[in-house]
Homo-oligomer: A and B are copies of this chain.
Amino acid sequence: MADLVTPRTLSGFRDYLPSVMLAREEVLRRAREVYRSYGFTPIDTPACESLDVLLGKGGDESDKLVYRVLSARGDKAEMGLRFDLTVPFARFSAQYINELGTPFKRYAMGPVWRGERPGQGRYREFWQCDFDTIGTTSNAADAETALVINDLFTAIGFDKFEIRINNRMVLNGFLEAFGCSEQSVVILRALDKLPKIGEAAVLQEMVAQGVLEGLGTLVLKIAATSGTNDAILKMLDESLDASGLELQALKNEQISAGKLLLEAGTKRLRELLAIAKTAGVPDGRIKIDLSICRGLDYYTGTIYETFLTDLPGIGSVCSGGRYDNLASKYTKQVLPGVGASLGVDRLIAAMEELKHPLITKQSTPASVLVVNFDPARLGDYQRVARLLRAAGVNVEVYPDAKKVGQQLGYAEKRGFAFAVIAGPAEFEAGVWKVKDLAKREEKAVPESELVATVKPAA
């Protein structure tokens, strides 16, 4: 016999065993339903893209994470594995938007790959689940994005979660008025790390990048604004007129440009909240948080993060924002849009920790096991199984005529609710024995009552 190859996954990669996979399929199914209920349509793009499509122009951070794929002959590395679903969507949009028309709403679900150092809950292959509306600057789409997130987590079975929103125009309005809009990228990238590294380290990073310490302190003060949504909006309405802020503005036109930006951002936040309220999103579900800004440079408007109230430390489980132009790398056509991405793997890790009802020990999607008592009766076992299946009950027929006790042990280990048994006596009497595995009760029922007997657990 040849040497055995040790069966294993590569570092940073993992398998989904049945019970976790059943939960993942259910999460994706519910996400799909919610996305579709808003008219988002599914698309799919290949895992492999041309490297020039995938890579940035100047050694971006993300470029280092891209896995290169050799041609099958092994002589060329001209393609790579996608590291998110946004870049392929940008390429896709540029390619088909004239055919598809705008607005265009799509969702996409699938694995992405990043050559990062694996760690607790961080994998090199993981699932994303994005939805985006492109081809419109309307705030209707921004408001809808928050509604989708609300309905998504509700559909997955959460009631304790908070959607935190911000608008980059607010922070950028301040920075413009302060005369330092050119430092916006550096400042927002540093601010995005706030929950991970804390205020002192954020300030240190800003200063190290050339931001004046007073300015950094001011940004952190704005980010730390707390209070009700109304109180924060009121503060934003008044902030630039208020004397309390130490404006370092150099020119008046910068102040007024900044003010316009700030006003526009504040208006959109206020409108989003009003639409959500009228549409029936529970009070307190959406919360303005001026500290959230996402690290990605392309966001320009509304920002979203989603936190589970019982497990905030795991971070945002659904994040996104508005961008001015999705596909400028591939087309001159301007494609503004807004969207968010559900972090499927992080969410499932959270669900495991929170003992969410979708995470069970059950490792089968079936609720009924038909015991193989007499292999000569396999046709009848499958006949009755198909009868139950037609009624929406998932049924497994045990393949081997092992001892009944062994088959029942298998059923209990997998998490079946019922075992159905028929041997010569039952066939003679025209009944099926139904064993409730949790209650450890058994009764004989005629075939006509079988569906009604086992259906409640299906």
Q: Interface residues, chain A, CB within 8 Å of chain B?
A: 1-2, 4-10, 13-18, 21-22, 24-25, 32, 36-50, 52-53, 57, 64-74, 77-79, 81, 91-92, 94-96, 99-101, 103, 105-106, 111, 113-116, 124-125, 133, 136, 138, 140-141, 143-144, 147, 151, 274-280, 327, 329-332, 363-366, 369, 372, 375, 378-380, 382-383, 385-386, 389, 393-401, 410, 413-414
Contacts and interface: CB of A to CB of B under 8 A. Distances in A.
Contact of A69 (B6, B81, B279): B81
Contact of A365 (B1, B39, B52): B39
B72 A69 contact: no
Given A43-B15, A100-B18, A38 B331 contact: no
A40 B395 CA distance: 9
Given A74-B68, A386-B279, A410-B101, A395 B38 contact: yes
Contacts of A92: 7, 15
B69 A70 contact: yes
A87 to B, nearest CB: 11
Contact of A115 (B71, B280, B329, B379): B71
The 9 residue pairs across chains A and B that have the minimum distance between CB atoms: A72-B115, A278-B379, A39-B396, A39-B366, A279-B382, A36-B365, A13-B46, A138-B399, A16-B44
A311 to B, nearest CB: 24
A380 B278 CA distance: 6
Nearest to A409: B101
A399 B7 contact: no
Contacts of A276: 379
Contacts of A113: 47-48
B136 A400 contact: yes
B38 A5 contact: no
A276 B381 CA distance: 11
17 contacts: A2-B57, A16-B43, A17-B100, A38-B385, A39-B366, A41-B364, A41-B365, A47-B111, A48-B67, A68-B69, A70-B77, A74-B77, A100-B363, A103-B399, A140-B400, A147-B382, A280-B383
Contacts of A39: 364-366, 369, 394-397
A8 B53 CA distance: 8
A10 B80 CA distance: 11
B278 A8 contact: no
Given A69-B81, A278-B379, A389-B37, A18 B43 contact: yes
Nearest to A24: B44
A141 B201 CA distance: 61
A382 B44 contact: no
A272 to B, nearest CB: 10
Nearest to A278: B379
Contacts of A46: 9-10, 13-15, 111, 125
A100 to B, nearest CB: 7
B18 A53 contact: no
A103 B410 CA distance: 9
A74 B125 CA distance: 17
Given A105-B396, A136-B400, A280-B386, 19 more contacts: A2-B329, A15-B95, A37-B393, A37-B394, A38-B385, A39-B397, A41-B364, A47-B81, A65-B72, A66-B72, A72-B115, A101-B414, A138-B372, A140-B375, A144-B397, A151-B389, A274-B379, A275-B382, A278-B379
B50 A10 contact: yes
A111 B327 CA distance: 26
Contacts of A101: 410, 413-414
